[in-house]
Structure formats: C-alpha cells, structure tokens
Structure 1
Amino acid sequence: MFTKVLRSFGMRGRVLTLDAPISGDVIPLSEVNDQTFATGLLGQGVAIQPTGTRVIAPADAKVEAIFPTGHAVALNTVDGLDVLIHVGLDTVQLEGKHFTVHAQVGDIVHKGDVLIEFDREAIAAEGYDVTVPILVCNSVEFSSIKGSVGVHVEEMDQLIVARER
C-alpha cells in the first residue's frame, strides 16, 4: 500500500546494483551469439568477454542452482535480484571439463566469494565462445535494467543497475 502511495507522488522504488562477477570487456546482450541470450528471453543484462578465469559472487546471495558441469550458476541476491551467470556458449557440452565448482545449491555466499573457476584458454581452444552472459532473470519486476556496456571491468566493479518499479 505504502509503495503505491509513493508511486502516486512520482517516487520510485530502490535502485539496486550488481557487481561484475568476472573481469573483462562488457558487451550488450544483443551481441551475444546465442538467440536465447541476445533476445533477452531469460532476462535483461549484459555479457562479458572475459579476461579472468573465475566467477565470483557479484553480491551477497543464496545459490539457487549450480550446474554440476560448472558452466552456470543462479543466485538470488539479498536485494531480490534473480541472477544467472552463464560461462560460455554451449559449454554444457563440455560436461564439466575445464570447470571447477566451488559452491553448492543452498549456500549463502558473500560478494567476492569464488563460485566457479574455469580454463578460459582450453575452452576457447575446443572451439567454444567464452562470452559470459549475466542476466537479471526477474527483469519484469524492475522499471529498468542498465548495464555498463563498452567498458572493461574488473571483478566487483559496478556492472548492472536495476530500478524497482
């Protein structure tokens, strides 16, 4: 009820931020060579062409899903962002090769905790695109999701800003 009153006076919800889970160059999702990500079907966000070889928790969160193959992790942040971090494209086909998982479903992780390590060069050498899409899967709950595209980020640099409706 109070939220509706605030909105009637032009006041919006909180502004939430998500930090970079990996270092690299940030590109828009539309440039990802996978239509599921490029069209925003799974949510809005950005992608990183990684220079790093590990994925860290971009915020304090609960691990909702982590694939045993190590190629993806889903988090629910304490602020309510449902985040998917997907390491590479079609890398599920590697069946865990070149990935080391450091978290389990149900874990409470803190910003900066290592979730996944991977051998970027070995994955690329096998012909896989190592681009890392980072999505806010509950994007519809926010009035805007904006990412820092066209820049290089290091781990824990601000990456995404989400404004609640």
Structure 2
Amino acid sequence: MGLFGFGKKKITETLYAPVIGKVQALENVSDQVFAQKMMGEGFGVVPSEGKIYSPIEGTVTSVFKTKHAIGFKTPTGLEVMVHMGLDTVDLEGKPFEILVQENDQVGVHTPIANMDLQQVKDAGKDTVVLTIITNTANKVDNADLKVNDSTEINDGSEVMVATIK
C-alpha cells in the first residue's frame, strides 16, 4: 500500500437484478424512506414476473417473518436486502413463497422467492422489488447505477457497482 492509501486497490461489489423487469432508480420509488436513501443505496426493479433471485454472491442472513424481505451478506461485508413490494408487510406473507433460509449460500442465479404479483396489485400495493445496501454509511464509498432508469433487464443483469471503503 502506498503512502496515504494511494495505490490501494479499490474493492468493488456488483449487485445484479433480482427479477426480470424495468429498472427504477431509487429516487423514483414512491416510498420516501427508500427514495431518500434512508435505508441505503440501491435500486428498484418493477417486475414483469414473480420469480425473485439473489442479487449477490453471499449468505442469507435473515428472512423477515412477513416474508416481504430477505437479508444477505457478501464476503466483503456488504449487507444487502431484497424488499419485495412497498407496504407489503401489511400482507402478512400471503403473496410470498420463500425458497431460502438463514445461513444458505446463494449465487446470482439462486432462486430466493416467488411473489404473486397479481395478489400484491389486488391489495393496492406497488410491486417494485428493491435491492438495498443497508450498511451503505459504514461500508460504501460510492455506488454507481450501471443502467438507465426504465431500462428493461433480465434477472442476473449487472445493475449497480459499489466501491467498498
């Protein structure tokens, strides 16, 4: 390592689309907690189907009791949450089938959940699937969205690159 950190190689972590659909920049999400990045950096995907995949390589750290969110940790220490729909905690898990459990090892194409999009819509909820780096403040120097807002993407497509502190 060089003097004052110069020459230190930056470590990056890539986050991938957890679902097929249209990218939604976090700032454009209708929930202000997410839009103002209070939970951390990330992105949304408005899904065109309900098969949800891991957005990272790592370990499942938590499955929310209401099944609407799953937490992960990467080998570099990024803590990432996949949050399915907005205000879907109210649905008490009914539209979700969780396919993983805590401590499972996952890769980018590992199926983690199924979401009944019609059931979420019928309940008047937004179906956007969010991928959030929940420890952004402590762990991330920079997070760059690699695709434009409203871009159609497939699950497993590279969406964001985070530079680790």
Task: State the TM-score, normalizing by the size of structure 2.
Answer: 0.90
Count of paired positions: 162
Q: Quote the residue 2:119 is aligned against.
A: 122
Higher mean C-alpha displacement, 8-17 vs 64-73: 8-17
Q: Quote the residue 2:148 is aligned against.
A: 149
Q: Quote the residue 1:136 is aligned against.
A: 133
The reply to whether residue 160 of structure 1 matches residue 160 of structure 2 is yes
Q: Quote the residue 1:66 is aligned against.
A: 63
Mapping of 1:10-29 within 5 angstroms?
Answer: 11-29=8-26
1:30 CA drift (Å)? 1.2
Give the distance between the partners of 1:6 and 1:129, measured in 2 at CA. Answer: 49
Superposed CA offset, 1:43-87 (max 9, x none): 001111111202111222111111132210110022332111100
Give the distance between the partners of 1:41 and 1:124, measured in 2 at CA. Answer: 25
Unaligned runs of 5+ in 2: none
Give the distance between the partners of 1:37 and 1:102, measured in 2 at CA. Answer: 25
The reply to whether residue 92 of structure 1 matches residue 78 of structure 2 is no
Give the distance between the partners of 1:10 and 1:85, measured in 2 at CA. Answer: 34
Give the distance between the partners of 2:23 and 2:88, measured in 1 at CA. Answer: 20
CA contact (8 A) 1:57 1:111 kept: yes
Task: State the TM-score, normalizing by the size of structure 1.
Answer: 0.90
Letter in 1 for 2:152: H
Unaligned runs of 5+ in 1: none
Identity of aligned residues (%): 30
Give the distance between the partners of 1:125 and 1:135, measured in 2 at CA. Answer: 25
Superposed CA offset, 1:90-145 (max 9, x none): 10111011110111112222221111101111211221111112111122222210
**Root-mean-square deviation over aligned CA pairs:** 1.6
The reply to whether residue 53 of structure 1 matches residue 40 of structure 2 is no
